[in-house]
């Protein structure tokens, strides 16, 4: 069985402790990973501090070339990365390939951005004010389990494009692709210490990263609870947070129903719903609700459930059996307070059949919290203003979707929906 070390200062670093990475589908141990600690983090920060001036002194074109080279290598090794993603996340192979492709695109866009970094000259009161963009130094990146390659790239590529160095703490359950990625950066010619990987306990290492004054900025993707804790502890340190969601979609009576169903099936059940912008609440006009539910059920029931390495598989396991049990309990809780099960929700180990619930009360967890599972709540409405109010009745606000052929109504509704992004005739996506 392959053993995966940390990558610190351009070298493989091992410890006297390892832990298993298991395929969520059936619990098979896929690899052993060396477990880092706060001392490992200190080594990574020191290496990153040494590399930071080298990254800062590189010309924009050099940094752009480095990122493009990594993109080319990632394209060359795409099947290897996709297999690693399947092994650590349990997502279907077809989704792992898409994630690998998206990571390549992120690198290319970061490469373009690196070439375009420039300041401004601003005339004020007979003088010229000149602004320049300077690297911050060491960036601490903390990433989740659900998109361990692409969400890592969302942090690493822009940081390096800006001339910074990175200390990366991947999720302890999905570190394999990040470790392999660090080796790819070294192959591409990145300075030693420019990108360091520390594995192990997320809470202990994460707290130490946030508290360490040598790290100039923390970029985190994960739960709202942890994000709030990071924000409270960070003090004056720069922080970017991408947190949870409970994304709504409104479907008006004039919508293209075929398109709406197709996109809602994909948006609700991709990666078994383990996506921060997964469609969790659908508000459909009462005039078309029966037909929509009929088609949505048919679409959900057609999804192929199976081993993630099978080419035909569309739905596989959640990240763990514990998470599947939690989602199962949320489904049962919604039914106990008045929701109707339209289809799905049955659990086998870590896998749950795609589930549709109808008329879910607002107090149910499915309505007001982030499910992070293959389940969607469908509620009817008669008045668009009421649908907007119910869509906004959430502590989250990542994205919302709206299906209608009336563009005037679409833009008017978009201004009233309280979300960072409004997608018209599509579901939330990133």
Please say if 332 is a catalytic residue.
no
The token pair at 136 is 């911050």
Please say if 355 is a catalytic residue.
no
CA atoms within 13 A on the CB side of 210: 22
Paired with 13 in beta bridges are 6
- Give the closest residue to 103 by CA, choosing from 140, 71, 130: 71
Choice among 242, 252, 314, 323 that is catalytic:
242
What is the bridge-based pairing of β-strands 247-251 and 399-403? parallel
Choice among 43, 247, 276, 355 that is catalytic:
276
Residues assigned a catalytic role: 242, 276
């Amino acid at each position: 069985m392959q053993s995966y070390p940390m990558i610190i200062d351009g070298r493989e670093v091992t410890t006297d402790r390892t832990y298993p990475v298991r395929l969520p589908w059936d619990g098979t141990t896929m690899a052993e990973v060396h477990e880092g600690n706060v001392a490992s983090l200190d080594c990574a920060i020191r290496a990153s501090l040494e590399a930071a001036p080298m990254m800062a002194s590189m010309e924009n074109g050099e940094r752009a070339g480095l990122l493009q080279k990594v993109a080319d290598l990632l394209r060359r090794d795409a099947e290897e990365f996709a297999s690693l993603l399947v092994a650590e996340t349990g997502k279907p192979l077809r989704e792992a390939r898409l994630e690998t492709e998206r990571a390549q695109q992120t690198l290319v866009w970061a490469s373009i951005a690196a070439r375009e970094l420039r300041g401004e000259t601003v005339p004020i009161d007979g003088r010229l004010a000149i602004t320049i963009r300077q690297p911050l130094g060491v960036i601490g990146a903390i990433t989740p389990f659900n998109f361990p390659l692409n969400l890592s790239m969302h942090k690493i590529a822009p940081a390096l494009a800006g001339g910074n160095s990175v200390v990366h703490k991947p999720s302890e359950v999905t570190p394999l692709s990040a470790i392999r990625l660090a080796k790819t950066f070294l192959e591409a010619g990145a300075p030693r210490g420019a990108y360091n990987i520390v594995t192990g306990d997320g809470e202990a290492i994460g707290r130490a990263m946030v508290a360490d004054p040598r790290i100039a900025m923390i970029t985190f993707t994960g739960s709202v609870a942890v994000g709030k804790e990071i924000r409270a502890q960070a003090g004056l340190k720069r922080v970017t947070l991408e947190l949870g969601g409970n994304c709504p979609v409104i479907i008006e009576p004039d919508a293209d129903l075929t398109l709406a169903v197709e996109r809602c099936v994909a948006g609700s059940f991709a990666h078994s719903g383990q996506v921060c912008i997964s469609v969790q609440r659908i508000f459909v006009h009462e005039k078309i609700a029966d037909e929509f539910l009929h088609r949505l059920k048919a679409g959900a029931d057609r999804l192929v459930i199976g081993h993630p390495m099978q080419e035909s598989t569309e739905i596989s396991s959640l990240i763990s059996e514990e998470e599947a049990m939690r989602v199962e309990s949320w489904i049962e809780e919604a039914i106990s307070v008045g929701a109707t099960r339209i289809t799905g929700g049955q659990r086998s180990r870590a896998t749950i059949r795609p589930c549709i619930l109808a008329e879910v009360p607002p107090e149910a967890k499915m309505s007001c919290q982030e499910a992070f599972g293959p389940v969607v709540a469908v509620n009817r409405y008669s008045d668009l203003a009421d649908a907007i109010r119910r869509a906004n009745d959430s502590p989250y606000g990542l994205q919302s979707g709206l299906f209608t052929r009336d563009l005037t109504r679409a833009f008017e509704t978009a201004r009233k929906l309280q979300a960072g992004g409004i997608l018209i005739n599509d579901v939330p996506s990133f």
